[in-house]
Amino acid sequence: MAAASTIYITASDQNRNGKTLLARLIADFLLLDGKDPFIIDTDAPEGPLRQFFPGRTALADFEKMQGRMKLFDTILEAPGRDYVVDLPQRHMQAFFHAARELEFFAAAHASGFRVFVFFIVDRTQASLRAAKGVFEEPGIDLFVAVKNEHVGSSWPPEEGALVLPALPRSVTNAIAEKRFSLRNFVLGDDQGMAGADKLALNQFLLGVLGGLSGLDVELSMAGLKRG
């Protein structure tokens, strides 16, 4: 993906559609690429991303003003690295409203960041409308629609999207364990997975990580959506 410091935001208007898995994939992709991403998990108090990235994840309770300022200040006070921000459905609208009010994206650009939003478009028309609404948000440099084949999507098939292929239940259960590292799996550590499950996860990661890598081509051909 992009060489410049970038804020990667994962969002959706629906719950339980693979958004946190997507945030994991982006963080692991950056680590595999030699980057040093920091993750901000706004899903308090659980903070599911912390178990996969101990030492590089902060929990910011976005329901509280202190948590909102922690998110924005953490990024703006330490530029020069990539950030992955995972937004639960209940915080999505509040986040973009606060970003507009505080002119966060403008401040991020001034600090040398680019802002990429990955939006999982669910199967309802309401989700499609929500995605298009986020696309119109000022200050977003790149909007990436994401289709999770496990839940379905209303995103038009003729329009480009990052695809999350459906995984067998046995694989999703295995990778949900806090000790399972997708990055280590890519690097050759099977972590006990074998047979058909190993093959399915290999194919899944090949497709998704290849899609993330391909964003470089999209950026070079189409430019950024600076709005």
| No. of helices (H) and no. of strands (E), the chain | 9, 7
Fill in the DSSP letter of residue 8: E
Domains of the chain with CATH codes: 6-222 (3.40.50)
Residues 6 or more apart whose Cβ sits within 8 Å of residue 151:
16, 17, 18, 122, 123
Q: Report the alpha-carbon distance of residue 114 to residue 111 in Å, rounded.
A: 9
Q: Can you give the pLDDT at residue 223?
A: 44
Q: Do residues 27 and 4 touch, judged by C-beta distance below 8 A?
A: no
The CA-based angle 216-221-224, given to 5 degrees, is 75
Q: Can you give the pLDDT at residue 217?
A: 55
Q: Do residues 134 and 105 touch, judged by C-beta distance below 8 A?
A: no
Distances (CA, A) of 11 to 106, 148, 174, 223: 20, 13, 24, 22
Q: Report the alpha-carbon distance of residue 174 to residue 75 in Å, rounded.
A: 32
Residue by residue, DSSP assigns 58-95 as EE--TTSHHHHHHHHHHHHTS-SS-EEEE--HHHHHHH
Q: Report the alpha-carbon distance of residue 206 to residue 63 in Å, rounded.
A: 36
Reading the chain (227 residues) residue by residue, the pLDDT tens digits are: 556 899 999 999 999 999 999 999 999 999 999 999 999 999 888 889 999 999 999 999 998 999 999 999 999 999 999 999 999 999 999 999 999 999 999 999 999 999 999 999 999 999 999 999 999 999 999 999 999 999 999 999 988 899 999 999 999 999 999 999 999 999 999 999 999 999 999 999 999 999 998 886 555 444 444 44
Q: Can you give the pLDDT at residue 192?
A: 95
Q: Can you give the pLDDT at residue 136?
A: 94
Rounded to a whole number of angstroms, the CA Rg of the chain reads 17
